[in-house]
Structure 1
Amino acid sequence: MPNRTHTKRHPHDDAPDTADAFRELAALPAGPRRDALRARIVEAWLPMADRLAGRFRNRGENHEDLRQVAALGLVKAVDRYDPARGHAFESYAVPTVTGEIKRHFRDHMWTLHVPRRVQDLRNRVRIAGQELSQTVSGRSPTVAEMAERAQLSEEDVRTGLEALESFSALSLDAELPGSEDGYSLSDALGAVDPALATVVDREAVRPRLAALPERERAILYMRFFGDMTQSRIAEQLGISQMHVSRLISRCCDRLREQVLREPLR
């Protein structure tokens, strides 16, 4: 019986017949002729890549950028496709291009890092919400309705809904809703209290300060809490400024030594 070659038909009517071109491409060595044939194959399949990019419209990304990503996936598919395996190019190219687009969303579009499971929940919840919005009128679908539609638990639906808000972040300079004076998110943010770094030191030295003689405690209070100069302290206590300086140094050295030697309990 004569040998017959069976060619698999592509599901799209406009799918180009590039089987012979791929076999020729696989046999050609690197060079201008191979590059030109490769470019013609890519060009022939670009409409398919554009159709795949169109499936991801209205998801927060510019359509032209999606077309570029799909074209990149198509080039990868052309370079990796092995016609000797006997599978139609389209069966290999479609998941390759689609995967490239999904990776683009995962790696470049999410402002916050979201686990893959949560991303999948987000997509299922989004699709369920879109489908239900066509059947319910005058209100938004409930969590229970979306859970039933997407075959998820209500907890997973809530997680997916939260992820819908994590796809992009609002600028700190954005004006808050209802604000008429230009009040932005950055105006509502607090700042790190510089005194936090000294809390432990303050608590450690507190009982040691209380144990000092009254005059030394008064000198430290006037110097570090009353912001008085050594000369004013000396004048108020009727002693020399040099004596005040020695007392301050001696007290600080003693407190430091006690704190380092005996941890606060």
Structure 2
Amino acid sequence: MPGSLAAINAVNAANADPGSVESADQRTGTRLPAVPQAHLVPPSDARELSKLFFARLRELPEGSAGHQYARNTLIEMNMALVRFAARGFRSRTGAGAGAGAEMEDVLQAGTIGLIKAIDRFDPDRGVEFSTLALPYVTGEIKRHFRDTTWAVRVPRRLQELRIELARTRDDLSATLGRSPTVKEIAQHLRLDEETVIEGLVAANGYSTETLDTPAQADEPSPSGRRTHALSETAGQNDPAMELFEDLHSVGPLVKELPERDRTILYLRFGQELTQAEIGTELGISQMQVSRLLSSILTRLRAGMLAA
């Protein structure tokens, strides 16, 4: 394999060139090995080489030839991560004549995520680069599909307006503390209300799914695991809704508790402190906290059952 670590070391040892990429920078000390075909480096070798390149990347001045070489080589050596993540989205690219072009777009989106991961990676944290990189790569690919996939044919101007409307609604909701009206959105974007309404209606055509769609279309199912269609889960109890109902019921009961009891609940479930940490905070023993917490939860449980 032309890109194997052994081959790279052998070539660099036999052809040591004082005029290599890094030697021009007298402040950087040791030189990085030349990797002429970085995209052919096997994943196992890429992991070892990446550690060396990441360590040196932090020392090289940003914008220098050495920094650019190290960064570009890291991108090429780790493209296997992008290809691995992209395989999970093959069902979305189809199998027609345009599937190849669509997959190329997916790979480009994934590469953006890879570059972001390289720029943010800190080798001192003791985390494998792939652990950080895959969420970035997958996130960019998903963003690509969110921004480009439409279930029905919509004019380009309305596709672009959808993004502006979504951003404006988020901004105004944060400012106003409620959902903005059509008039408020139109004034913010300096558009007439009819255009805003047209954009909101068109946004409904951005994504639709049939009841036969797998519940996790973009996640490859492990071998032997059945993939459920949406029709099989529609109408079932939603655990999140049950939790909301429980919280809605327990809210008034918590308000009736003494201040110290409410503080204990907040520290335990809001701040996620241990019983020992709560005891230190309140100046009581861990055993006292345990008894108080048990008593509080018993009262709340009894109150919910009586409601």
Q: Which category of TM-score, normalised to the shorter sequence, fits these structures?
A: 0.3 to 0.5
TM-score by length of 1: 0.41
Higher Cα Rg: structure 1 or 2? 1
